[in-house]
Amino acid sequence: MGIIQYIWKMYLRVLNPTCKIRASSLSRNVHLEKGVTIEQGSHIQCSYIGKYTYINKYCLIDKSTESIGRFCSIAYNVRIGLGSHPTNWVSTHPFAYDKKYGFTSNTGFASGKKTVVGNDVWIGANATILAGIKIGDGAIIGAHSLVTKDVEPYSIVVGVPAKVIRYRFDRDTIQKLLEIKWWNWEDDLLRKKIGSFANINNFLENAKD
């Protein structure tokens, strides 16, 4: 780890001591809400990570990733926001759009799309999510999956490329959860309601009490 990255990580710890950052690399523009955990060997370049999200070992979150929501569970060796190459240019090689090769003054190929991961998303080990993809709230990405298109809220997708195998709940329940947005609750309210989280029907009945 470079000295600048080390200093930045120490600054983040002072700014938000509830976060746990273990031997990982973070870019200087990243904003962490409280309770975020980032395990060793991960390289994080996204601009925002919501509270209590944890990122396991050896993950890569590329700079095309705009945000990762709250209460997300990201397993080890996950890749999010991997960049694309221009398919309609003369060449797909980055020499045509990256100045490090000495042919242009540009710094990269901009696809114009940002990767966004919603709240309460579970991403299994070794999954890859391409740049410009939107993952809806409550979605589950199966281990070893390759996500090439947007994922609907509360859907479960698996495979290469990833496809929907089912939804976590029925349509009416999903809509209610998206309206409740429990991930925006204050911690005190979460503690009060935590007893109903194991049963979706009890949760929906008591959510607005």
The 10s digit of each residue's pLDDT in 112-155 is 678 999 999 999 999 999 999 999 999 999 999 999 999 999 99
Write down the catalytic residue from 31, 43, 85, 144: 85
Report if residue 197 sits inside a domain.
Answer: yes
* Catalytic status, residue 43: no
What per-residue confidence (pLDDT) applies to 162? Answer: 98
What per-residue confidence (pLDDT) applies to 12? Answer: 52
pLDDT of residue 10 exceeding 60: no
What per-residue confidence (pLDDT) applies to 70? Answer: 98
Taking only the tens place, the pLDDT of each residue in 51-84 is 999 999 999 999 889 999 999 999 999 999 987 7
For residue 7, what pLDDT band results from cuts at 50, 70 and 90?
very low
Report if residue 102 sits inside a domain.
Answer: no
pLDDT of residue 41 exceeding 70: yes
Q: What is the mean pLDDT of residues 1-22?
A: 58
Give the amino acid at 116. V
Helix (H) or strand (E) holding 201: helix 200-206
**Residues 151 and 207 both lie in one domain:** no
What per-residue confidence (pLDDT) applies to 147? Answer: 97
**Residues 47 and 126 both lie in one domain:** yes
Domain limits at 205? Answer: 175-209
**Residues 154 and 206 both lie in one domain:** no
Tell me how many domains the chain contains: 2
**Residues 144 and 71 both lie in one domain:** yes
What per-residue confidence (pLDDT) applies to 19? Answer: 84
Contact 90, 40 (CB under 8 A): no
Instruction: Give CA–CA dist 64/46, Å, rounded.
Output: 7
Predicted model pTM: 0.85
What per-residue confidence (pLDDT) applies to 26? Answer: 83
What is the b/e burial string over 182-202, where b = at least 16 CB atoms within 10 angstroms of the residue's CB? bbeeeeeeeeebeebeeeeee
**Residues 120 and 209 both lie in one domain:** no
For residue 14, what pLDDT band results from cuts at 50, 70 and 90?
very low
What per-residue confidence (pLDDT) applies to 108? Answer: 65
What per-residue confidence (pLDDT) applies to 154? Answer: 98
pLDDT of residue 3 exceeding 50: no
